Amino acid sequence: MLKNTARVQENAKKYKAGATYPQTKFAGQLREAARLIAAGVGQRVLYVSLGVLTPTPGSAPSRTTCWRPWRGLAAFQTDLERQGVAGDVIVMGFSEFGRRVAENGSAGTDHGKGSVMFALGQGVKGGIHGSSPDLEKLSDGDIIYKQDFRGVYAEALTKWLGLNAREILGGSFTGPSWIAS
């Protein structure tokens, strides 16, 4: 085990970023994830957090703030491609909470049930999977979701990681077929 740890540490030291990352905390986390992946640590799942994007009451997020995460993800994908490991990685993005349809008193939206997920990588079938919610038919001001997020996770667990999704998720969940075969 110590030999393996030493090998990984040596590989991590050799890492040279294959892209220029934005100077943000999120992009720094992505760069560190790319370093670990390129070093061959053998991890199956890594988690990075964008943090809070919710503007303060009375302020709207700037265009720069909204695009910053996408620039970090673009650099991450480019880095993985230049490291030769892009085919081994899928990025899944999600929010821990959704949003309500109606605008609140500070020109924003409150936490709610409506949300989206995205996936990035060579192993992903491109396109939109699922159907749009009915913005006229709400439940107490919230979107009525059409896809249980666990169905999306089940696809990743089964088709990408080769694991038993039913056992991990505590039930059987189906979702869109979004992983390329």
- Structure confidence by residue, pLDDT tens digits, 35-66: 999 988 888 999 998 876 555 555 555 555 55
C-alpha distances (whole Å) from 32 to each of 9, 39, 48, 80, 93 are 13, 10, 10, 12, 17
> Which one is predicted more confidently, 52 or 151?
151
Whole-number Å distance between alpha carbons of 100 and 23: 31
Between these two residues, 111 and 70, which has the higher pLDDT value? 70
Alpha helix ranges (H) inside the chain? 2-14, 25-39, 63-83, 149-155, 165-169
The rounded percent of the chain whose pLDDT value lies above 90 is 50
pTM of the model as a whole: 0.81
Q: Percentage of the chain with pLDDT > 70? A: 86
Q: Are 125 and 177 in contact (CB under 8 A)?
A: yes
Instruction: Identify the CA nearest to 83 among candidates 30, 154, 162.
Output: 30
Q: Is the confidence at residue 85, as pLDDT, over 90?
A: yes
Return the domain boundaries, the chain.
Answer: 1-85, 90-181
141 or 35: which leads in pLDDT: 35
Angle at 19 between CA 16 and CA 120, to 5 degrees: 115
